[in-house]
Homo-oligomer: A and B are copies of this chain.
Amino acid sequence: MSRKLYTSKYPIFAVAVDLVVLTIRDGVFSVLLVRRGGDTHAGEWALPGGFVGEQEDLIEAAYRELEEETGVGGERVHLEQLATYGHPDRDPRQRVVSVAHVAVGSGMTEDLVGGSDAVDARWWSVGEALAADLAFDHHEILRDGVERARSRIEYTDLALSFCEERFTLPELQRVYEAIWGRELDTRNFVRKVTRTRDFVRETGEEQRGGRGRPAKVYVAGGATSLVPPMTRD
């Protein structure tokens, strides 16, 4: 990509979107990182992301980058803005402001594609990723994104975005346990998710094929908040 000339009355910035892409893989709370190619921070692990286009809305840019990096479209993925990071020295190339987003989904674990700037992409456990050195200020963004997810599942339906469309309550419980890193009492858990009207809806089906008693299959019931909230102490 070559440089272009621009005029502006005000200081100019490049605007990027960076993505904290979260999922549960084999029961492990996981985040997608890419190894950077190109020039800046080459070889280091970073959050996927890229620059916002001339006529692109921020959330559109985030969806585009998500699809470029994971091959996953927007249907079954929850995407929300996290925060914006704009320290003057955060990118050595030029002044860059990054609007970070959190993406949550399931079934993204298969078709990873290297994006334009990425030479490699890989799922990390969130614990490992938080302990690693990441490019730019991505450690901070990751930390904030993980905390966002951990708090959002308390009182919203975000946990359902970690599940497939059809799921069982034990699966949903394992989502909470993976994200919070602690075990929940099954009876209290079921009481709470079934207390909020329209949070989950029974389908009448059962999920066979496991080793024990079949679990009932549920779908999201449409409620977007969980009241009273799940508690994580």
For the complex, give the distance between the alpha carbons of A95 and B99 in Å.
Answer: 15
CB of A14 closer than 8 Å to a CB of B: yes
Whole-angstrom distance from the CB of A221 to the nearest CB of chain B?
Answer: 22
Is the beta-carbon distance between B14 and A4 smaller than 8 angstroms? Answer: no
* Nearest CB in chain B to that of A86: its residue: B58
* Nearest CB in chain B to that of A16: its residue: B10
Is the beta-carbon distance between A15 and B56 smaller than 8 angstroms? Answer: no
By a CB distance below 8 angstroms, the chain B residues around A13 are 12-15, 52, 97
By a CB distance below 8 angstroms, the chain B residues around A83 are 81
CB of A57 closer than 8 Å to a CB of B: yes
Is the beta-carbon distance between A97 and B94 smaller than 8 angstroms? Answer: no
Whole-angstrom distance from the CB of A58 to the nearest CB of chain B?
Answer: 4
Is the beta-carbon distance between B56 and A88 smaller than 8 angstroms? Answer: yes
Is the beta-carbon distance between A5 and B3 smaller than 8 angstroms? Answer: no
Is the beta-carbon distance between A57 and B87 smaller than 8 angstroms? Answer: yes
CB of A11 closer than 8 Å to a CB of B: yes
Q: Give the size of the chain A interface in residues (CB under 8 angstroms).
A: 34
For the complex, give the distance between the alpha carbons of A86 and B10 in Å.
Answer: 16
Q: Which has the most chain B C-beta neighbours within 10 Å: A58, A83, A86? A: A86
For the complex, give the distance between the alpha carbons of A53 and B86 in Å.
Answer: 11
Is the beta-carbon distance between A12 and B9 smaller than 8 angstroms? Answer: no
Is the beta-carbon distance between B55 and A88 smaller than 8 angstroms? Answer: yes
Q: Add 7 more A-B contacts to A11-B51, A58-B97 (CB < 8 A).
A: A8-B12, A13-B14, A54-B95, A57-B88, A84-B84, A84-B99, A86-B99
Chosen A-B contacts, 29 in total, with CB atoms closer than 8 Å, are A1-B9, A1-B10, A2-B9, A3-B9, A4-B7, A4-B9, A5-B7, A6-B6, A9-B14, A10-B94, A11-B14, A11-B15, A11-B51, A11-B52, A11-B53, A11-B54, A12-B14, A15-B15, A52-B86, A54-B95, A57-B87, A57-B88, A58-B86, A58-B97, A81-B84, A84-B84, A84-B99, A86-B99, A97-B97
